[in-house]
Amino acid sequence: MGSTVLSLRIDGELLDRLRSHAAKRGMSVQDYVVRTLIREDFDERFKTAVDETEKFYGEADGEPGADTATGTPRDHVRPSAGIA
């Protein structure tokens, strides 16, 4: 996979905050921003996958995780990983 240049114009105050967050993690601002974007992209794709899985299996009576035969909730944890 190759790389491409992305140039951004950002507020000085935001850049200072990014520098601070990156420094706390021992990273460059560029690495911090790239990792943040990668994490956001993963979270979005994961949430979409969870939503699609729920659509595929269906939801009885509008209740997530309900047993389609009885309408009662199943005993399991939804794989939301803290995604709102």
Cβ neighbors of 74 (< 8 A, separation 6 or more) are: 65, 66, 67
Higher pLDDT, 83 or 5: 5
Dihedral-angle region of residue 26 (phi above 0 means left; psi in -120 to 50 means alpha; beta otherwise): left
- What does the alpha-carbon distance between residue 16 and residue 32 come to, in Å, rounded to a whole number? 13
**Mean of the pLDDT values across residues 14-41?**
94
Nearest-angstrom CA–CA distance, 65 and 73: 6
pLDDT at 22 over 90: yes
pLDDT band, residue 61 (cuts 50/70/90): very low
Enter the pTM of the model. Answer: 0.55
